[in-house]
Amino acid sequence: MSRIKSAVGALERRLAGQAWFFHAYTFPYRALLRRELRLAAVQPDDVLLNIGCGSAPFSAVLAAQFSGARVIAVDMDPRAVTGARSLVAGLGLSSRIEVVLADAANDPLPPASVALVALQAAPKDDIWQNLRHSLSESGNRGRALFRIPRAGLESEYGHFTPGTAVRGEVYHRMPTFERTILCAVRADRSVCKVA
Ligand SMILES: C[S@@+](CC[C@H](N)C(=O)[O-])C[C@H]1O[C@@H](n2cnc3c(N)ncnc32)[C@H](O)[C@@H]1O
């Protein structure tokens, strides 16, 4: 694992349980999450899979709070799963956010209608292929949001080649990623952009 990824993982594991850290850490992500949820038109009747939730599952928490959707947060690291479960319980969100141990590139994933894939989750092409099974069970609604690394950081965070599945994108000003793309399971030519 690269140095940036392991440093982020260690920071999240160490401080995730502390409320001040969680609120400070989530601050830059709040507007970003709203843009992503709007791009994928996430509704309260969606089931959202958050791939790579980490020990501080702020994307899962904000997605549940902002959209009202039920969230299943997934991580392949047992330490991250333990930390995420404890943080979700501490926030009183255990009935709305389930935390599951799985490698999203290889293990069967629970059925869902929409997925949000963390920047650090990899390998992205394998995750997308695997996700298509769990998302296709929701018929025409299946879609996934992928955070895409800035140019030059692909070797750190993983390349993604979604081909014709891309349906839209939103832009951010984060140091490691500037874009989230929306991919659809179903073939459809419409493309949207959200400012
Ligand atoms: C450091 S976290 C960052 C996520 C952040 N807390 C959030 O809410 O967006 C990234 C996590 O992705 C997980 N991860 C990477 N590849 C994965 C995969 N193939 N399946 C599941 N989890 C994965 C890592 O174990 C790590 O905990």
Taking the chain (195 residues) in runs of 10, the rounded mean pLDDT of each run is 72 70 84 97 97 95 97 97 92 95 97 97 96 86 95 92 93 94 76 45
DSSP category for residue 49: E
Distance 189 CA to ligand 1 centre (A): 31
Report the CATH architecture of 3-193.
3-Layer(aba) Sandwich (3.40)
Q: What pLDDT, on a 0 to 100 scale, did the predictor assign at position 98?
A: 98
How crowded is residue 171: how many other Cβ atoms within 10 Å of its Cβ?
14
In whole angstroms, what is the distance from residue 47 CA to residue 153 CA? 30
Best of 76, 79, 91, 117 for a ligand 1 pocket test (most atoms within 8 Å of beta carbon) = 76
pTM, full prediction: 0.89
- Which residues have CB under 6 Å of ligand 1? 8-9, 12, 51-54, 56-59, 74-77, 80, 103-105, 118, 120-122, 127
144's enclosing H/E stretch is: strand 143-149
**Taking the domains of the chain in order of start, what are their residue ranges?**
3-193
Vertex 170, ends 132 and 146: CA angle to 5°? 30
β pairing state of 166-171 and 143-149: unpaired
Query: Residue 105 has which token pair?
Result: 């590139």
In whole angstroms, what is the distance from residue 83 CA to residue 55 CA? 5
> Which residue in 125, 152, 116, 90 sits closest to 33, CA to CA?
116
